[in-house]
Amino acid sequence: MLAIFLETLPFFALIGIGYWAGRTRFFSEEATAYLTKFVFYFALSAMLFRFSANLSLAEVLDWPLVGAYLWGTAAVYGIASAVAFWRRLDVATAAVEAQCAAIGNTGFLGIPMLALLMGEAAIGPTILALAVDLIVFSSLIVILITGSREGRMRLSVLRTVGLGLLRNPMIVAISAGLVWSALRLPIPAPMNAFLEILGAAATPGALFAIGASLASKSAERAEVALWLAFCKLALHPALVAIGALLLFPVDPFAARVIIAVAALPVAGNVYILAQHYGVAPQRVSAAILFSTVISVASVSLVIAWVGGL
């Protein structure tokens, strides 16, 4: 446990430096926004394309793995939604809370950290989990919020969802990389060097941006935020573990990877969605803050646990 904690510590130390820079205003909110754009559209896309181009579709697409991760994520999504409805929240707010409980920071934190801690073999399952989050649950929240506000489902909503997926640089980078791999095209040396240099900026840039963005997060509605953090950091990996170890015939190593993915803190893009639709952004902000702080210890615990499976 201590060895794993010390291995994860540099990642969270980078988040801490970013938090300090944002808190002291050394790094303004505008600067953080531009750094996040650089990581999201350029550095992370380069890293994902390079990873995907060196994987075959058969290495990534594992239907039992999809089933196990989807089952566990849908289960925690359902639990968070049920609790929200029990508290008499509307559909839009329940959807935002469920998104906090189910969607982790896989792109910015999970891929670089798990690739280092669990080896390059962890990249395929992690990318697959990221694709499930983006395609299924990032679409679901848009459908639920828009449908609840308009009182019915229109084709324009599905068009919005589809265009959103096509414009998402992570989906584009992963898809382009897998197509490149399927065509069996070698990556030219200059292109590979370019992708390696640009992709290398993804990890420190993303972690710094996470920390700097946390500096502007509030801790309002602490009891709700702590409940959502518990769902994300404890319930989600537990339910994915049930799916991967008991319900679906998942490869043991891949099972360990997706359980670790499920233990990641709440993703920052949930806040972007909440702010865009004007649905409980302060609640999401607090959930991201609490889950990220607690994950310094909890992620190490989960990775140590899965290592013994």
- Are the CB atoms for 195 and 46 separated by under 8 Å? yes
Measured distance CA(31)–CA(105) in Å, rounded: 21
Q: CATH number of the domain that 104 lies in? A: 1.20.1530.20
CB atoms within 10 A of CB 30: 8
User: 186: which 2 tokens?
Assistant: 């070698």
From first to last of its 309 residues, the chain has per-residue pLDDT tens of 677 778 888 888 999 999 999 989 998 989 988 998 899 889 989 999 998 888 877 777 889 999 999 999 999 999 999 999 999 998 889 999 999 999 999 988 888 889 888 888 899 999 999 999 988 888 888 888 877 766 555 656 666 666 666 778 888 898 898 889 888 888 888 999 999 999 999 889 988 998 888 887 766 668 899 999 999 999 999 999 999 999 999 999 999 999 999 999 998 888 888 887 888 888 888 899 899 999 989 998 999 888 766
Name the residue with tokens 């992690």. Answer: 126
Cite the beta strand spans of 24-175 per DSSP E. none
Full domain range(s) for residue 203: 2-307
Cα–Cα distance, 12 to 15 (Å, whole number) = 5
Into how many domains does the chain fold? 1
